[in-house]
Amino acid sequence: MFRLFLVLLVIAGTAQAAEFHGASKAYGKGQCIVLDRLPADSGAKYKSGDADKEQELCGIDFADKGIGMCPKTWSTSPGTVIYDIRKSRYNGGPEKFEADYCPKQRALKGKVAGVDRVATYKQSVNGQFKQSTSATYAQASPLYYEYSRYFNTIVDIPVAVIRIMDTQEHFSRVASKGHAMAQGKMIADGWNVVTSAEKNPAGYVPVNEFYYGDSKNGLLYGAMLKGPGTRYGAEFNGNISGKGYSEQYVFLQKTPAFLALNSLKGFADAVSDAINSSRADPIVARSLSAGVSSEQMMFWMQEMSEIALMDYIFGQQDRPGNIDYLWTWYSVNDKGEVKSSRVDSEVARPEMKSIEVPDEIKSSGKYYLIQKTQINDNDAAGRAYANFTKKFGLLGKLRHMNAATYRQLIRLARDYQARGPLYDYLNNTFYMPPAYTNLIVQNSIQAAESVQSACKAGTLRFDLDAEMYVATQKTEEVHVDCENP
């Protein structure tokens, strides 16, 4: 039903949106933009704290003497780490802070009183100036944020805003120092690209992936966000250490969550088989040594299915190894109401029994400790990167899904076909060229085709609802009209 208009949508296109659309707060020549939200009648559900987090991010004034900025020096992609130093001995002296702290920020993490990491600022950085870099696209994080609310995901995706700033300010405070501090060749090459682009605007291609508007205005842009969490081990990523992208996606499919999602059996049997099968890998087995509850598996399965869908649509290149978690207590009172409370702990799964149950949780009746999945690192998406989720057919292998997720996907594909309000939102909000938005449209329609085919074939169960399962301990398989959900 979707294929008829696919080619027309891909080849059609208008000129790139001239700007980001949203509410802007000025900072000298620069600005911070809270992007427009999806249409009110779209089915999108924003969280109660989203607006406050947007305002907190856009409330950061880089010129404030209580704000410090450091180049990110680890992993593979450059970025700017924003610190609040107002409660530290460096308050009023960001220059001193940046000279002392930035070269040693990983070693000093948590050791300098009053220094609080409040955001990360990521620009688009791809191979340029004969440098081999990792893949980063500034619009990717805002896309994941807004569309996670459209799909009502339970996997946590952080609020993201757009920040436009003066090129010379960024160069002098951050970029010019990045290469010397970098702790690896790829990130050093990335900083070479940033500094070269900031010194030679016309040399970066396409220039509007780095500069906002006319590059002669000297304004660069990036996404600003703050995502909490600790990196998962093999229990959710699989045994991926030391492996390339393709191998990582092979091993992701051997995890308990994906094996269960790929099973045609009902939830309970799918979970039991998946846990037993995944333990065949000793690295995964070690990560699962503390055991896996059915409640945890319900969360993992729903979260993994949501990740597979969004990564297919936006073409995320490097998901395995870029998935985080937060320990969270879920409790159910005598009225069947579910409450959640985050745990201030970064222990790995094998040590989860060291997390003490708070008295208020104990008194609630039923309670469960859950590794709640976060995907904060969503920057290798939104443009023509290697779409490994599509390459390995992960979406087509799902045999379990949340019914609301399916409804929203079919709705999105139909709107894109009809060039409706969701199509206009995508094209007008994110300052992207038609080639990129049309690729997202194409992927969305293909994703809908894939899951709808499984629905019609009777191989897709709509039985994932993590919070309902915690509340009732029952799996309810929802009947969905595949054509008109």
Tell me the pLDDT tens digit for each residue of 426-439.
Answer: 999 999 999 999 99
pLDDT at 113: 97
Tokens of 184: 């690896």
> Is the confidence at residue 202, as pLDDT, over 90?
no
> Is the confidence at residue 400, as pLDDT, over 90?
yes
In whole angstroms, what is the distance from residue 250 CA to residue 243 CA? 10
pLDDT at 365: 81
Share of the chain above pLDDT 70, in %: 96
> Is the confidence at residue 4, as pLDDT, over 70?
no
- Model pLDDT for residues 447-456, shown as the tens digit of each residue: 999 999 999 9
The HSE-up count of residue 75 (CA atoms within 13 Å, CB side) is 15
Q: Which of 478, 474, 482 is nearest to 462 (CA)?
A: 478
**Cα–chain center distance at 374:** 7
> pLDDT band at 8, cuts 50/70/90?
very low
Tell if the pTM clears 0.85, that is, is over it.
Answer: yes
pLDDT at 9: 43
Mean pLDDT of 147-160: 98
Question: Which stretches within 12-155 are classed as H helix?
Answer: 50-58, 94-100, 105-108, 140-150
Q: Is the torsion defined by CA of 230, 236, 241, 246 positive or negative?
A: negative
Mean pLDDT of the chain: 94
> pLDDT band at 15, cuts 50/70/90?
low
- Model pLDDT for residues 334-362, shown as the tens digit of each residue: 888 999 999 999 999 999 999 999 999 98
> Is the confidence at residue 72, as pLDDT, over 80?
yes
